[in-house]
Amino acid sequence: MTMVPILRCVSLALLLAALGGGAAMAQSGYYQQQGQRDLRAYPPGYYPGKLVQPAQPRPQQGFSIRRFLGVPEEPARPTRTPVARPRKSAPSSAAVAKQEKPKVDPSTYVVVFGDALAGFARQGLDAHLAENQDVAVVPKIRDTSLVRTDPADWPNFIKAALDGGQKTTIAVVMLGASDRQAIREGDETVEPLSDRWKELYRQRVDAIVNTFKERSIPVVWIGLPPMKNSKTSEDLVAINEIYKESVQRGGGTYVDIWPGFVDDENRYTAEGPDVDGEPAKLRTNEGVFFTRAGARKVAFFADTEIKRILGQGGTATAVAPNPADITPADGSSPPSIEAAIPAPPDAAAPVSLPSKPLVGPVLPLTRQDVTPGGALVSAPPKLAGDNAYTAQRALRVGIAPGSRPGRADDFRWPNP
């Protein structure tokens, strides 16, 4: 027997074995992957029937070169299941605010006192002055009315804040959102906005203003804005008048924000131009508080007065030195200003003007025309001859009369 048929048989057997072993390995890998995929759908230790039995590996079928040569089979590598990692949520606005670095050693402290409305003023000032590292805005907010508490409650609160080590360069006050209530005076109840109520309320406002005045702290009092309720707005107008009179009498500054939150007819409006002049919603839906744009607008009114008080918004003005303080080098007396000023020129003699008559020539409208001789004229004179030719030629024919030499209508070119 020759070697060629033997080699052909061996080659054919090897080819069939390779094809059978590859199919068996592929089939075995499929069952392993299918079993692992099915097991991932159930809890550990639970096997649904006889569909998958991971404890007993399936015997591999077909011809394998590794088994024919005695080489142990490599265990199938387990497939890795990707684990879903939880995504990091975006930090909230409060967390971002906590991460912001506080202002280091500011030289100006703007302390805001008041109720809920003052909280919006503080919010607007904080946003308005965020880029200025030299100014710090400190809130001292209480949800307390000025009429429902003891008259000394708010002054005592302010004194405790100022005497407790709080640095204050300028104080900003805004309150009165819920002050349209009766005031208790002993056993009696004083109706809101009555004459007695206004007197008692003015005394409480004066007590707050005097608290800052005693400590030489400038105060900026922000007035109340219009409200959605028309009756409430009418009452707030009277309360703002009390604020303005008391604050200005005590040496403070009153800020009127009313024009910034009304329309052309002086009525409440929830929308209007913001600090950049763009239309925006300024008030919240209930018609009492402010949006973020509205709070910035309140702060814009107050910031103008704050800069004026602190001298940051004006321009420096040069002041001329007093001549009395100037001393010459030789020690002599300083020259007087009168000696340095030249004498004024002599006054010119008044020019006599002709006196103007009180009335001009009187011409009666009913005067009769007379001839040069004095006889009455019975009819208008008739033009005849050469005198009538010029008038007829101009009025009937339309030919203008010739100009006279030297008159304004003489356009003849002069002779050379």
Per-residue burial over 386-406, b = 16 or more CB atoms within 10 Å of its CB, e = otherwise: eeeeeeeeeeeeeeeeeeeee
Phi (first) and psi of residue 189, to 5 degrees: -115, 120
- Distant-in-sequence, close-in-space partners of 157: CB < 8 Å, separation ≥ 6: 140, 142
How far is residue 248 from each of residues 111, 134, 193, 241, measured CA to CA in Å?
A: 20, 28, 21, 11
- Distant-in-sequence, close-in-space partners of 263: CB < 8 Å, separation ≥ 6: 269, 272
| DSSP 8-state symbol, 370 | B
- Distant-in-sequence, close-in-space partners of 295: CB < 8 Å, separation ≥ 6: 120, 121, 123, 124, 127
From 111, 112, 187, 199, select the one nearest 147 (Cα to Cα).
199
Quick one: tokens of 163?
Answer: 């005497």
pLDDT band at 413 (very low <50, low <70, confident <90, very high): confident
Q: Could you tell me if 70 and 132 are in contact, meaning their C-beta atoms sit under 8 angstroms apart?
A: no
| DSSP 8-state symbol, 260 | G
Measured in whole angstroms, how far is the alpha carbon of residue 115 from the centre of its chain?
Answer: 22
The pLDDT value recorded for residue 321 is 41
Q: Count Cβ atoms below 10 Å from residue 209 Cβ, excluding itself.
A: 22
Any idea which fold 103-310 has?
Rossmann fold (3.40.50)
Asked whether residue 363 carries a pLDDT value surpassing 60, the answer given is yes
Tell me: the pLDDT tens digits for 81-136? 555 555 555 445 444 444 445 666 788 999 999 999 999 999 999 998 888 888 99
Burial category of 367 from C-beta neighbours within 10 Å (exposed 0-12, middle 13-18, buried 19 and up) = exposed
The answer for 144, left when phi > 0, alpha when psi is -120 to 50, beta otherwise, is beta
The pLDDT value recorded for residue 101 is 54
Rg (CA), the chain: 52
Coil, strand or helix at 231: helix
From 16, 36, 141, select the one nearest 78 (Cα to Cα).
36
d(CA 302, CA 305): 5
| DSSP 8-state symbol, 172 | E
From 161, 245, 255, select the one nearest 203 (Cα to Cα).
245
pLDDT band at 387 (very low <50, low <70, confident <90, very high): low
Least confident of 51-55, 86-90, 111-115, 235-239: 51-55
The pLDDT value recorded for residue 370 is 66
Strand 219-222 versus strand 253-255 pairing type: parallel
pTM over 0.85: no
Tell me: the pLDDT tens digits for 308-357? 988 854 333 333 344 444 455 455 555 555 555 666 666 666 666 677 67
Quick one: tokens of 352?
Answer: 């006599």
| Residue ranges per structural domain of the chain | 3-69, 103-310
- Distant-in-sequence, close-in-space partners of 131: CB < 8 Å, separation ≥ 6: none
- Distant-in-sequence, close-in-space partners of 283: CB < 8 Å, separation ≥ 6: 225, 228, 261, 269, 270, 289, 290, 291, 294
